[in-house]
DNA sequence: GTCTATATGCGGATAGAC
DNA sequence: GTCTATCCGCATATAGAC
């Protein structure tokens, strides 16, 4: 064995996410990643055929981690506060991993519909809003909730709420949605 | 006059936005922009000192245009449907100018608080939610509304609602917020 | 005001030796 | 499996001639 294995696929992925976390998406180049792993850039192509495959793997990991956050946030909270708890968990994830979160939402990195991580996340959201609203479908409510959460954390991350901050916009929004979901179900009966 | 003026600052800006609309942000380079105007890249620096100044000008133009859309959408609609009308106009703008919209929301392109176009937009949103909610502040409601709208159009543009589409998520979300804003004001009295 | 030429830097990816 | 060397492309921006 003249050239013993220095790295594994898992290490490559973990290090990529670490760079993302520490220095952002612009800093994540194959050269930088290799240097950070103590190898040269061409070696990385033994583990991921191109950069976008690596990015997609990072997105999958992010999806799984986000689901963990949200599930943990919902545990041991009663139905009435469930949406708010889930929302806080979502926001917490985006704060902890801002660059990974942005990557997860990029258009060019949409995973195929077969992606387990994406489906699992969406199914959890649907179950959540069904539980709150009593609706049997939940698509519309899920879309509305996800839209609000994504919009809020995106604008917050971009610093668009200015010096005055978001005030209670987060709570106001979620409470309004929660009430609206329940009411909408009454009408649809 | 050995070298007569070929372009104006306004033309540079207009052409930049056109490229953005037609081919996206990645296609907007100083070289491409120059070529599209029939000049060479260095000439552009007579009109904008660097690329980011040009991008900021594009964002300002976008802000003004978005405000026009929203104002037009609200005209001749009664109070009860105001938020939905404004929302549809916001969405319509994002659909018409997706790449300009994305640029407007980029963190690195946040305009200084002195920016007239940004302030005017935010003031209009505040007036809108105050009108609906009766609240005298409106910051929290404005934040919630903006979050929902931005989140929805971002996810829609990124194709994240999948084949099934957003269903009635847009309407459900806005109606819920409208109802919630009014209710919140009752409590705060 | 526009030009040519260039400085300087970045990136992804591959061929082929060891 | 890792390496050196390299190809190829992109970009922003500037100096100085005309």
CA A42 to C1' D7, whole Å: 14
Q: Decide: B55 and B14 in contact? Cβ < 8 Å.
A: no
Pairwise CA distance, residues A174 & A148, whole Å:
8
| Number of Cα atoms under 13 Å in the Cβ half of residue B153 | 23
The answer, for A72 touching chain B at a CB cutoff of 8 Å, is no
B contact residues 123-142, partner A, Cβ 8 Å cutoff:
137, 139-142
Tally of CA atoms within 13 A in the half-sphere of A129 that contains its CB: 31
For A87, residues 6+ apart whose C-beta sits below 8 A from its C-beta are A145, A148, A149, A170, A174
Q: How confident is the model at residue A187 (pLDDT cuts 50, 70, 90)?
A: low
How far away is chain A from the Cα of B111, in angstroms, using its nearest Cα? 10
| Residue indicated by tokens 């649907």 | A126
Q: Which of residues 46-105 of B touch strand D (CB under 7 A)?
A: 49-52
| CB contact at 8 A, B171 and A173 | no
**Mean pLDDT for the stretch of residues A60-86:** 97
Task: Tell the residue number behind the tokens 């052409």, with chain if given.
Answer: B15
Dihedral sign of CA atoms B52, A104, B165, B67 in order: negative
Sequence-distant (6+) residues with CB within 8 A of A84 are A171, A174, A175, A178
A142: chain B residues, CB-CB within 8 Å:
169
Per residue in A84-138, pLDDT (tens digit) is: 999 999 999 999 999 999 999 999 999 999 999 999 999 999 999 999 999 899 9
How close is the nearest chain A Cα to the Cα of B37, in Å?
29
**pLDDT tier, B186 (very low <50, low <70, confident <90, very high otherwise):** low
Residue indicated by tokens 């904008």:
B48
Report d(CA B188, CA B172) in Å as an integer.
24
pLDDT band for position B189 (50/70/90)?
very low
Q: Which of A159, A173, A179 sits opposite B179 (nearest CB)?
A: A179
Find where tokens 């594994």 sit.
Answer: A8
Taking only the tens place, the pLDDT of each residue in A2-42 is: 678 999 999 999 999 999 999 999 999 999 999 999 999 99
């Amino acid at each position: 064995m003249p050239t013993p294995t220095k790295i594994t696929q898992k290490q490559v992925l973990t290090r990529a996410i670490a760079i993302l976390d520490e220095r952002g998406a612009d800093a994540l180049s194959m050269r930088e990643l290799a240097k950070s792993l103590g190898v040269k850039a061409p070696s990385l192509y033994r583990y991921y055929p191109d950069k976008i495959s690596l990015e997609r793997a990072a997105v999958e990991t992010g999806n799984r981690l986000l689901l963990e956050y949200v599930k943990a946030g919902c545990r041991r909270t009663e139905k009435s506060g469930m949406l708010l708890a889930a929302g806080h968990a979502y926001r917490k994830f985006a704060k902890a991993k801002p660059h990974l979160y942005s990557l997860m939402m990029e258009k060019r990195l949409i995973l195929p519909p077969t992606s387990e991580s994406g489906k699992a996340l969406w199914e959890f959201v649907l179950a959540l809003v069904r539980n709150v609203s009593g609706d049997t479908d939940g698509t519309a409510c899920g879309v509305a909730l996800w839209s609000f959460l994504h919009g809020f954390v995106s604008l917050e991350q971009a610093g668009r709420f200015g010096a005055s901050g978001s005030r209670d916009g987060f709570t106001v929004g979620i409470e309004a949605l929660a009430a609206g979901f329940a009411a909408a179900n009454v009408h649809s009966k």
